[in-house]
Amino acid sequence: MTTGTPAPPRSVRVAAVLTFLQGLGGVGLAVALAVRVIGGATPAGPILGAAGVLVIWFGGAILASVLLFRGEHGARTPVIVTQLLLLGCAWYAYGPSEQQLLGSLGGIYCVVVLVFLFTRDGRQWALGLSDVNEGDKAD
C-alpha cells in the first residue's frame, strides 16, 4: 500500500479477491487450451491465439486485482472493465450458446463483484473521501 493512502474498505478487498479468482480461472482455461493443442486434439493456430489473448487479459486482471487489494485507486477501473466484459461473455453463454446455467452463474458472479466495488464505502474510498468521513466521525 502506498504511504498516505487509506486502506481500501473490506468490500473493495472482497471484489479484488473475487477478481483474482476469475483471473486464475482464465489463465487455467488458457493452459487447458494449450494442453489440448499439444495433445493434438485441435488445430494449433486459432486455439493458441485464443490462449494467448486469455493469458494477457486475465494476467492483467490478476495484476489489477492485486494492486486493488493493496489500495491502488487506479486498479479499480480495469477490474470494472473486466467485469463488464465478462458480463457480455455470460450473456453470450446464456443466450446464443444455450448454456443457461453457466451464463447465469457467470453473470451473477460479475454483478456481485460490481456491487462490492460500488458500495458506499467503496465509492468514497475511490473518490478519496474516506479522510473526510474519519474527520466527521470525530466531531
For 15-29, how does the pLDDT look when each residue is reduced to its tens digit (9 = 90+)?
999 999 999 999 999
Q: Residue 23: which of 83, 93, 88, 94 has the closest Cα?
A: 83
> Distance between CA 28 and CA 33 in Å, rounded?
9
User: pLDDT for 119-137, tens place per residue?
Assistant: 999 999 988 885 544 544 4
- Dihedral over alpha carbons 111, 18, 61, 119 (to 10 degrees): 50
Cell of 80: 470494472
| pLDDT tens figures, 98-121 | 899 999 999 999 999 999 999 999
Helices 100-117, 76-94: axis angle to 10 degrees equals: 160
Going from the C-alpha of 46 to that of each of 34, 37, 43, 57, the distances in angstroms are 11, 10, 7, 16
Read off the pTM: 0.84
pLDDT confidence tier of residue 4, bands split at 50, 70 and 90: low
Asked if 113 and 68 count as a contact pair (C-beta separation under 8 A), the reply is: no
pLDDT tens for each residue of 34-84: 998 888 877 788 889 999 999 999 999 999 999 999 999 899 999 999 999
